Chains A and B, each alone.
Chain A
């Protein structure tokens, strides 16, 4: 049995008066900046915290998330990888219908109709989608994630990432670049031409290169990129460079005639690595799914209308709230009035301890979070308050190589009232506009409150 403290250092939580009495006694003290939990969570918190399974369940779940070793193993068409039927489209976020879909989501779905030859004109595509002739499903239900609208149709090519530790597999589409692109809801001819080229040239070239190079260790690559100033959501410049450095020789060997255009395309897009990073995040968080009693968040995703979360101990259920409009910097003459509510599966980066959670690693993009390097450090530091662990491989040089905060706990979110910090691109409200800005977004508290209540009271 440990002895009673001879020289007390006291954590005080609650009334200032009692803390001040300790100060007057020159007792070392750490004051907790306590505030009441999110409204409507007091009894759920008591029940969840008292659950005898919780501690071990969370240890197991977050342990799996931390130990995942995502590797890029293949690039394949969705029809093949996911057995995706003609007439089925996947999309970002929790499930949504055409009626409730926002502008960029509708635009991307229209683009997919045109790409797949399911409609000849925009009007025809809209009619077919409104009539429910195409079945829509959430990417997350198919081990897949997609940025922004995240629309995946059978002919699109996907990165295939395997978790070498636990054996899971996850997919993400190939990044189209910036400007007018399908994921932001654009569907003009240049968008479709680019997608066709990606299917005919980019995808096969990457696949052939990977067969020569062998699997690429994404965990190691992400760890290096963090130390080079990326946070892997809004900044992927270092990661993209590292990725191409790994792949370039094999690409030249595999597709000598196409290597230059492929490298020019990928190298001209600082976000090219976002998609492999997302697949890596998906593979890692999927490893943590399905642990009964665990309050660990295993997915956060937005469809442009709803923001949804999934929790390890609650199977595949979604808990949603309205997607907010990001607060950020706008391109050119665009302003908040042009912005669509938050959209995309890229919050899988935050769910796996990157993105906004690793903001302190990316001082180059602090403008998104308030302008000062201190704001970036605060953003990351605040996330340690709602996470269960620190990542053993993903480290932040500026914080003394402390691991990034990882493993969001819905109970800690409810207790602290701190919502996950999400870095994101901002899509234009009107379909076809493309990206209008980038910044921070706050998830709706009700999604976390609903998840906590389900964990507490649903049998």
Chain B
């Protein structure tokens, strides 16, 4: 094996694009490991842990770190140049006019009515502020944004008539367009306000399976209902949906809010003309599935039988291997066991989210003991792994072969690009019991399924 490690100045690509390059390169035959990333201290450490000795980098990380260990380093770097070239040509093909360098400048053209920010968290404030100053609603997908900046943005949005969704907002659906991780949902009468991305995905996917669509899904960010932020965006989002002629029912989804925030939000809810169904996990024993069911009830519909592809299960201790934080919490409230949320910051620093890259969860699955129950979520939709069953099904088959019982909560809709039924069939055929309701999956895993 030969190693190459170098820094290339003057090159910038976003981390997700570079992760895809790293992945493609690592998958080349004869390549042991490849790290292609911006030369931030974090990424340099990562390279060192992998046994590379990177040179000293400029402080701001404005250089590209290339670290490759392979049989044929020249072939690998040739492929790397080709992959990076593809990234650059895509950027320059759009550059017929001088492309906007800031959200401010892009907003000046006046055509846009929505902004999606996903730059690294320390830089997200400037772009989001541009959006707020232009009076545009903004979704901040980025995490690691300081809470003071979040509060400032949300206060300004209050003054300027904007709406700040996030930071750390994983999902939104506005006028049918799915932003971030979002499912393909039919248009309909339900508006959603969510401080929990996967929670919102789950409830809206269940509604879609029941034939009920959404007007808008407004994420507000995981911290919005904390005491510090005070539910500023949740309250604005509720009012916006109340004014939206296409919204007949509002569903509010969150982990338990700070008590004083819960009171403030409730006061607003009480004054709305539009009825509101609250799904606040952990309070009064409600779960996401029952929230979807009560929403259907409010619309005068009977909940359907949620699609599932079940298998008998023997009692065994439950190992929850989750990618969605709220789904993980929900399951852990239903069934005792050891739960890990692989979407947590601890696991996503310097690598892709488990909804995109299953590597960590697949490793964890190999460590589940025979007789135990592996309970996992698989989230479909825009932004997620284009074919999760491709890697998961063989891993499930291997686990089942070792005597592990696998239960899957499959969150998605028939319209999703991955195809809900096809994914379900492949996971089931590999030996898993598959549920479209996370609560049902958790109950089944606990051996007490209905």
- Interface of A toward B, CB cutoff 8 Å: 1-19, 21-22, 24-25, 27-28, 30-40, 42, 45-46, 49-50, 55, 378, 381-382, 384-385, 411-412, 415-418
A211 to B343, CA, bound (A): 77
Q: If A4-B240, A46-B149 touch, does A15 touch B174 (CB 8 Å cutoff)? A: no
Contact between chains at B178 and A13 (CB < 8 Å)? no
Q: Which residues of B contact A30 (CB under 8 A)?
A: 100, 106, 109, 111-112
Contact flags B366-382 to A (C-beta < 8 A → 1, else 0): 00000000000000001
B400 proximal to A (CB < 8 A): no
Q: How far is the CB of A201 from chain B (nearest CB, A)?
A: 47
- Chain B minimum-CB-distance residue to A25: B177
B342 proximal to A (CB < 8 A): no
Q: If A5-B174, A9-B113 touch, does A22 touch B179 (CB 8 Å cutoff)? A: yes
How many of chain B's residues touch chain A, expressed as a range? 35 or more
Contact between chains at A33 and B99 (CB < 8 Å)? yes
From A4, A15, A25, A412, B118 is in contact (CB under 8 Å) with A15
From A33, A39, A382, B60 is in contact (CB under 8 Å) with A39
Most chain A CB inside 10 Å of its own CB: which residue of B90, B114, B176? B114
Contact between chains at A22 and B177 (CB < 8 Å)? yes
Q: Which residues of B contact A24 (CB under 8 A)?
A: 382, 417
Q: Which residues of B contact A4 (CB under 8 A)?
A: 137, 163, 174-175, 216, 218, 240-241, 244
A244 to B97, CA, bound (A): 38
Contact flags B82-102 to A (C-beta < 8 A → 1, else 0): 000001001100110111111
A189 to B104, CA, bound (A): 55
From B116, B161, B174, B246, A13 is in contact (CB under 8 Å) with B116
Contact between chains at A14 and B59 (CB < 8 Å)? no
Q: Which residues of B contact A382 (CB under 8 A)?
A: 98
- Chain B minimum-CB-distance residue to A411: B126
A253 to B246, CA, bound (A): 77
From B161, B163, B178, A21 is in contact (CB under 8 Å) with B178
Contact between chains at A32 and B102 (CB < 8 Å)? yes
Most chain B CB inside 10 Å of its own CB: which residue of A10, A22, A378, A411? A10
Q: How far is the CB of B229 from chain A (nearest CB, A)?
A: 16
Contact between chains at A381 and B98 (CB < 8 Å)? yes
Contact between chains at A31 and B99 (CB < 8 Å)? yes
User: What are 26 residue pairs bridging A and B, where the CB atoms are less than 8 Å apart in the complex?
Assistant: A1-B239, A4-B218, A8-B176, A9-B113, A10-B112, A11-B103, A11-B107, A13-B115, A14-B117, A14-B142, A19-B116, A24-B382, A25-B178, A30-B111, A36-B60, A36-B62, A39-B60, A42-B60, A42-B122, A46-B125, A49-B126, A49-B129, A381-B98, A384-B105, A385-B101, A415-B126
A340 to B116, CA, bound (A): 46
Q: How far is the CB of A5 from chain B (nearest CB, A)?
A: 4
Contact between chains at B113 and A8 (CB < 8 Å)? yes
Contact between chains at B133 and A15 (CB < 8 Å)? no
- Chain A minimum-CB-distance residue to B61: A36
B123 proximal to A (CB < 8 A): yes
- Partner-binding segment picked from B12-20, B26-34, B264-272: B12-20
Contact between chains at A1 and B240 (CB < 8 Å)? yes
Contact between chains at B109 and A17 (CB < 8 Å)? no
Contact between chains at B60 and A9 (CB < 8 Å)? no
Contact between chains at A5 and B113 (CB < 8 Å)? yes
Q: If A37-B123, A378-B98 touch, does A3 touch B244 (CB 8 Å cutoff)? A: yes
